[in-house]
Chains A and B, each alone.
Chain A
Amino acid sequence: MSAHDPAVTAALRAVARDAGVTARIHATRLAGPPGTVALDDTEPVAIASLYKLPLALVWADLVTAGRLAADAPVRLPVSSRMPGPTGVAMLLDDVVLTARDVVRLMLAVSDNACGDALLALVGRERAHERLGELGLPATLVRQGSADETRALLRDTGTTTWAGAQRALADPDHAAETSQYDPALASAATAAELGQVLRLLWSCRGPAYDLVRDALAHQAWRHRVGSGFPHDDVVLHGKTGTLGRLRHEAAVVGFPHEHPVGVVVLTWAARPERHLPGVDAAVGELARLATGPLRMPDDEAG
């Protein structure tokens, strides 16, 4: 861990204040000499769909250990799926995928049906046991997306996913939900999610390659990506979004530099669903946190 530069921390706080968010940040060099930039990164936070990232790590771990098969077929019958905004969760018919394609859809488009299926495959107990062994005691996959949606409907008194989103976005009521509470929802700290990225980038094997490749296919580049509008910078990322929560864990790869993992977890004061200014602030925070950690790798030049 490098010493924290107060000027960087102050700049991060200023951007967060200007955007009207509370931010927890952890950026860390994933190769070369260790280096970290942090802002309140040991504070537990409800992580929404970011639970899919540690879940993918555990899955890769189990596949590498020979306890799960990457190409095992996974049935996703429409009757057992909770409708969601993307991927298989928005389809109309029964679907069968291999486990690794479930992982790809879960990470690339944050498919809720695939997240639930993978959690069922891995098992919650097994996930927590493995995360504990990996030194991630505060990373808690308490539930999948279906349970998250059910809790949202219950808390907002609505019957559909879209209705729940509207209730959370009402500017005239500060709607609360258990899904904002790290004691009730899936939770982690920015520091531990940084450690998840470090593990994913340091472990060798086809299952880890598969997870990293899926992260490179993330369909969105409006958050962390907005801070790096450069076509030659490779981004791997996973967002987590729910109401006021706008998170992303990403790896920023400048050519001929060590990759930098950056986790930005935000809670917005504004409840609206579409806040491009806040998404852009996540990118700005990621850029500010990553900047001091950029370093040419040994093979450069």
Chain B
Amino acid sequence: MDLLKHLGFFKAVADVRHFGNAAADLGMTQPPLSQGIRRLERHLGVRLFDRDARGVRITAAGRRLLPAARDLLDAADDLVSTARDLALPEQVRLGIAADLEDGVPHLLRALTAEAQARTAPPPPTSSAEPVETSRAARTSVAPTVAGSVELVDLLRDGLLDVAVVRHPGVLDGLTAGPVLVVPTRLVQAPLVPADVRLPVAVPPRHHQPPAHDQLVDALRRAGHSGDVVEARDTAQRQALVAAGLAAGLLPAFPDASGTSGAAPNGPAGPPLRLRVALPLAAQRRPEIDHEAVAEAIRAALSPASDPAPDPTSDPARRPPRGDAG
């Protein structure tokens, strides 16, 4: 018999103490579930449940066996998910700071486009290395959007390959490329008079305390009160702005043509500073080309990036300034 499947039946009935409901949870009908439990009881040689007019009760033996059954099922789940990870070794686990606002889809589109561009056959004049191309061609991205402090912890624990984090922040045990400076616009809902300076909707301070404090100082330096409203996600921040309760601080990322065409209207705000952080060289997954991904992210986020990268001025060839240890 399929022991794991039948232990799943056992766990489902033990969890809800009702055959009909357990069957519904499992997406099956009651008769095969009851038969399955009886088969398991025969196989194990013990009775797992008592059934009477008042319902289903787990037996003492069932209670003793339940933890081991749960452990086996959990271990099976772990095995399957580990196998799934191994089956996609070329998938880049990318962390994205929640501060990027509308820039998240932009960044992912740019990375996908970059991967596709590499898949295309190289022009005859170019001497692109075939190994590099085939590796990048298989690049797909598994994104995680979270606060920068959390992303740094995930990178350090080996659960991400690359992360775009807000700068400045503590990066102990990681390396990082140059600071990317993205201009921003302060926008208010049309119903708010222009001379009213609303507090600014920002991600929670704990996402990256030093960057948050730097932003507040910059707002005050510019004559703003420095009052902010901390809101946990982009939708919440957009809602506050739409309701006229807060000003939005929107990064103006270059659009597909490489210009800052998508820039929203409004006075300039303090720039959003970002860095691409990577694990230390010894802790990187060999199947990922970390530097190529980092370079693609930098190109997608840099306002100065060229629409059609000129190979003679490839920023990847330039030594990165300030590679922090």
Binding site for B on A (CB under 8 A): 17-22, 171-176, 268-272, 277
Interface status of B105 (Cβ within 8 A of chain A): no
A231 to B213, CA, bound (A): 30
Segment of B166-174, B227-235, B278-286, B299-307 in the binding face: B166-174
**27 A-B residue contacts at CB 8 Å?**
A17-B149, A18-B209, A20-B168, A20-B169, A20-B209, A20-B210, A20-B211, A20-B213, A21-B170, A22-B172, A171-B179, A172-B181, A172-B271, A173-B178, A174-B176, A174-B178, A174-B321, A174-B322, A174-B324, A175-B322, A176-B323, A176-B324, A268-B210, A269-B210, A270-B168, A272-B214, A272-B217
Q: A17-B170, A19-B209, A269-B168 are in contact. Are A174 and B149 (CB under 8 A)?
A: no
> Which B residues lie within 8 Å of A272 (CB)?
214, 217
Smallest CB–CB gap between A285 and chain B, Å? 14
Interface status of B93 (Cβ within 8 A of chain A): no
Tell which of B179, B181, B323 has the most Cβ of chain A within 10 Å: B179
Nearest 6 pairs between A and B by C-beta? A20-B210, A174-B322, A269-B210, A269-B168, A270-B210, A270-B168
Q: Which of A17, A20, A176 contacts B322 (CB 8 A)?
A: A176
> Which B residues lie within 8 Å of A17 (CB)?
149, 170, 209
Asked whether B214 lies within 8 Å of A171 as measured between CB atoms, the reply is yes
Smallest CB–CB gap between A139 and chain B, Å? 22
> Which A residues lie within 8 Å of B185 (CB)?
none
Asked whether B170 lies within 8 Å of A172 as measured between CB atoms, the reply is no
Interface of A is mostly: loop
Smallest CB–CB gap between B208 and chain A, Å? 8
A268 to B214, CA, bound (A): 12
Q: A17-B149, A21-B170 are in contact. Are A174 and B214 (CB under 8 A)?
A: no
> Which A residues lie within 8 Å of B273 (CB)?
171-172
**Additional A-B contacts beyond A22-B170, A172-B181, A270-B213 (5; CB < 8 A):** A20-B168, A171-B214, A174-B179, A174-B321, A270-B214
> Which A residues lie within 8 Å of B321 (CB)?
173-174
A301 to B206, CA, bound (A): 46
> Which B residues lie within 8 Å of A277 (CB)?
213
Cβ proximity bits B141-177 to A, threshold 8 Å, 1 near / 0 not: 0000000010000000000000000011111100010
A272 to B210, CA, bound (A): 11
Residue of A nearest to B320 (CB): A174
Residue of B nearest to A244 (CB): B168
A17 to B275, CA, bound (A): 18
Q: Which of B176, B179, B206 contacts A172 (CB 8 A)?
A: B179
Asked whether B210 lies within 8 Å of A173 as measured between CB atoms, the reply is no
Asked whether A271 lies within 8 Å of B168 as measured between CB atoms, the reply is yes
> Which A residues lie within 8 Å of B324 (CB)?
174, 176
Within 8 A of A (CB), among B266-320: 271, 273, 275
Smallest CB–CB gap between B13 and chain A, Å? 42
A301 to B296, CA, bound (A): 70
A17 to B170, CA, bound (A): 8
> Which B residues lie within 8 Å of A175 (CB)?
322
> Which B residues lie within 8 Å of A174 (CB)?
167, 176, 178-179, 275, 321-322, 324
Residue of B nearest to A274 (CB): B217
Tell which of B172, B210, B273, B323 has the most Cβ of chain A within 10 Å: B210
Tell which of A18, A174, A175, A272 has the most Cβ of chain B within 10 Å: A174
> Which A residues lie within 8 Å of B217 (CB)?
272
A18 to B275, CA, bound (A): 20
A277 to B205, CA, bound (A): 14
Within 8 A of A (CB), among B179-234: 179, 181, 206, 208-211, 213-214, 217
